[in-house]
Amino acid sequence: MLFTILSRIHSLALLLVLTFLAATIAGAAKTGFVPDHSRYGAAAFQNKQGGSRFIVSIFANPNGKRILLLDNAATDPVVPSTVPRDIVDKLAKALERKGITAIHSYGMALDEIEGNFDAAVLIYPSEDYVNADFTKLATRLEAKVLFDYCSGWSSADADAAGLMHMNFARTYWPHWLDSEMHQFVEYMEKVTAAGDGILLVPSEALSTTAARARWFLPLNYYLAPRRFYLYKPKDGTSFLTEYFQWVKDYSETRPYKDQVRMKNHPRALSKLTNMNTARTLNEEELQVAANHDVQWILFWRHQADFKICDFELVDIETVLGWK
Amino acid sequence: MLHLLNALLFMAVCICIGRALLPSQSVVARSRGEEFAVSYTLGLAAVVILCNLMFVIGSTLGIAVGISLVAASAALFYQSKRGADFAPSPFTSVITYALLAVGALSLIATVAYPINEFDAIYHWAYRGKVLLFNGTPLTEAITGIVSNDNFGRVVTHPNYPLGVPIIEAFSSYFSGWSDRWVQLPLGLWAASMPWLVAFGLRKLSQAAIRLAAIATAATPILYTTNFTENGWTDLTNAGTSSSMMLGGGSDLAVMCMLTLSAALFLQATSSSCKRLAICAGVALAATAAMKNEGLALLMVCMIACAAALIFKNRPLRTIGFLAASTIICVAPWLGIRAQIPAIDENYSEQLTLENVMHFAGGANELVEKSPLAMSGRPQIDEGSIPTRRSLVAEAFVDEFFDMRSWGLLWVLALISVGLLVKNLESFNYRWLTLVIVGGVLLYFLILLVTPWNFPSLRDKGIPERLLVHLVGPIMLLLGHALSSIEAEDC
């Protein structure tokens, strides 16, 4: 009797199941049955100290630089991903200690903010700030750099205006939903043929062990049947432990050592010429390209955020011509 | 539209083949719902095995698709000659509509988004694309992960089985790949489960069948894990996290194939039907073709058969047909597997007596080297690293009492296993009990010797994603237990 009752109680979980299924379908319907970032947790800036070092590090001499902090006024409505005020204050103070002037916008419309700056930091992702006219903004930023603490700006739009965009907020949506990555996939689909071989070559030391930085996984999937070749894929595509080792291994091996960065090579998508990832190949890499009948070299910078300026696709003849 | 039609064609092919494989209604009666669920999953198992056979002999997916279409046409003709009067359903119309509604919702939830999970994309759908574009798994796209020059093809876990990829590739063979619609045939795993359980229990009381079938459909882990753990956030984000079980993964595929095999085998033993035993072998081989753990479960089922023979009622002939068809049907996959580099998951290498004794004897958990994997976890004090066995045991106990994922399933399983003492004379009861206990022990052993840091695996939903494979046998045992209690009460 008790056993039967327990079985019936278990069956009540059907209510939980129905709730889940209804919520899943309703949630998908809300975004037109296509997953987007809004279905995931809001991005968050997790550096409790304000992350001033990110900003300071781009200037050879930070003294006297002017940084625009696009933050909110106390009366502004709270928007998800807004950096908390105490962290903004810490950031401002830390910048001042380095001789940098931090100018707060306090929610003022971008067009109303006067003056020129060296760089801008997105602290408050209001509609006005997120949809900024990057072309106009670029004329007012000496260093042509955007620091994004809310993951609110499009790096592709910034790139098109010649601005270097750096996101420092943690995002919670899966990496295969990155719109810039899909933009790059579309470009590669047009440029390369279905059966082409593509050698993946990091342009420099791998600077992060973030799992999201493995952009070769989605590129390989979305661009199948193109053939992608990677350094020691057995480790690079494996569990985090092996991947961590792979990152260390590549950086210790330093195949990019003694190679020349081809900064003058015309960029296909990105407008950021000084960020060009193309470089000459070493003897081993050239041999690998020959071994695997490769038609293209995809140079890339290993970063958690996909930015089109971190990728450059170059045909093998051009690369061979550099040697 | 073409993508949807291609997926529906695959499902129709499976149903036609599956129906023809089953014995006539006069041998084993079944309702319309049971016929649909059993035929679909059995036909799917047969197609997967046929494809594996084609690959191992050097043929391609296209040939397998062609043979399947011809076989489905012949099966349709055969079925029209055979005729079919369906047995009455064990369910009331309210239960039938409720099960259909849950099944339909789970199907819609599966295709509500295109493939949207890491494993589903990189482990399974990538292979599906390889099969679609290259026609065979024995190609550089999978085997080329290792080469002499340190550079190779980008592929994760190359020796993962091809069941789900075959389904996806077949479902897009004529239309081209669609990240949404290749999932359609996979959306019926959870929906089929109550009917498979009902079929396996057909000779028992209707009350037991109903209760076991509803309990199956009500088991949350068939759809998601830990739902509501994060309160309302889980409602707004439902279907977007890796806790979603529906979709393009393969754990529900293993669960469904094992359930099908067990249901067919139970019917085979009670009706002494060799055709059903052969079908059960096909399904069991398909279990191994869905995920590496399926091969280990296949061995558990075989060992359980042998162990269950120690008491009276020994269906030796039925077991013989099961074993023979299983071995024949799993051979093509083993032949393929032998030609693919064994990377990451190599249980036969790990599950050695030495390894088991090492960790069972109290060896410490492995230190995770990746700082990323360690983020959010407490710092490890090197002097007090816990033993692997204590971590695994703790994880299992946590799971058994995780009502959000399992409801009361493990409590019911424990009681049902305990009732074995009253049902020792029943071969089916003994066999199911051994499969469940053996399955749990197997997963305990696998996790005991895994070469990975166990807390990292725990973060990825292990062991619940393994234990879900056993839901079918547990529900079949629950049905037997309920029926035996009912008989006593009478």
Q: What is the pLDDT of residues A97-113, one digit of tens each?
A: 999 999 999 999 999 99
Query: CB–CB of B356/B449 below 8 Å?
Result: yes
Tell me which chain B residue has its CA closest to the CA of residue A11. B215
% of residues, chain A, pLDDT over 70: 100
Q: Which of A241, A284, A288 sits opposite B452 (nearest CB)?
A: A241
Query: CB–CB of A53/B254 below 8 Å?
Result: no
Q: What is the pLDDT of residues A151-200, one digit of tens each?
A: 999 999 999 999 999 999 999 999 999 999 999 999 999 999 999 999 99
Report how far Cα B214 is from the mean position of its chain's Cα atoms.
Answer: 19
Q: What is the pLDDT of residues B18-38, one digit of tens each?
A: 999 999 999 999 999 999 999
Q: What is the pLDDT of residues B408-421, one digit of tens each?
A: 999 999 999 999 99
Indicate yes or no: CB of A22 within 8 angstroms of CB of B105. yes
Indicate yes or no: CB of A21 within 8 angstroms of CB of B109. yes
Spell out the domain ranges in chain A.
52-167, 175-322
Instruction: Round to whole Å and give the CA distance between A38 and A167.
Output: 18
Q: Which of B122, B343, B489 sits opposite A234 (nearest CB)?
A: B343
**Which chain A residues have a beta carbon less than 8 Å from that of B151?**
199, 229-233, 288, 291-292
ipTM at complex level: 0.94
Which one of B121, B372, B454 would you mutate to disrupt binding with A, by most A Cβ within 10 Å of its Cβ?
Answer: B372
Enter the DSSP assignment of B158: T
Q: How many CB atoms lie within 10 A of CB A174?
A: 19
Q: What is the pLDDT of residues B451-463, one digit of tens each?
A: 888 888 898 899 9
Residue A55 pLDDT > 80, yes or no? Answer: yes
Instruction: Round to whole Å and give the CA distance between A293 and A290.
Output: 5
When the pLDDT of each residue in chain B is averaged and rounded to a whole number, the result is: 93
Query: CB–CB of A290/A194 below 8 Å?
Result: no
B159 to chain A, closest Cα gap in Å: 12
Residue A256 pLDDT > 80, yes or no? Answer: yes
pLDDT at residue B199 in the model: 98
Indicate yes or no: CB of A238 within 8 angstroms of CB of B118. no
- Which has the closest alpha carbon to B302: B315, B283, B289, B284? B284
Which one of B115, B150, B168, B483 would you mutate to disrupt binding with A, by most A Cβ within 10 Å of its Cβ?
Answer: B150
Q: What is the pLDDT of residues A140-152, one digit of tens each?
A: 999 999 999 999 9
Indicate yes or no: CB of A225 within 8 angstroms of CB of B412. no
pLDDT band at B375 (very low <50, low <70, confident <90, very high): low
The arithmetic mean of pLDDT across residues B140-156, rounded, is: 94
Indicate yes or no: CB of A220 within 8 angstroms of CB of B219. no
The arithmetic mean of pLDDT across residues B191-206, rounded, is: 96
pLDDT at residue A1 in the model: 77
Residue A135 pLDDT > 70, yes or no? Answer: yes
Tell me which chain B residue has its CA closest to the CA of residue A200. B151
Indicate yes or no: CB of B211 within 8 angstroms of CB of A11. yes
Which one of A4, A6, A10 would you mutate to disrupt binding with B, by most B Cβ within 10 Å of its Cβ?
Answer: A10
pLDDT at residue B241 in the model: 86
A215 to chain B, closest Cα gap in Å: 11
Residue B168 pLDDT > 90, yes or no? Answer: yes
Indicate yes or no: CB of B141 within 8 angstroms of CB of A23. no
Report how far Cα A310 is from the mean position of its chain's Cα atoms.
Answer: 9
Question: Is omega for the bond preceding A225 within 30 degrees of 0, making it cis?
Answer: yes
| φ, ψ of residue B224 in degrees (nearest 5) | -160, 165
pLDDT band at B110 (very low <50, low <70, confident <90, very high): very high
Prediction pTM value? 0.94
% of residues, chain B, pLDDT over 90: 82
What would the CATH number be for the domain defined by A52-167? 3.40.50.720
Instruction: Round to whole Å and give the CA distance between A320 and A278.
Output: 12
pLDDT band at B272 (very low <50, low <70, confident <90, very high): very high
Beta bridge mates, A287: none
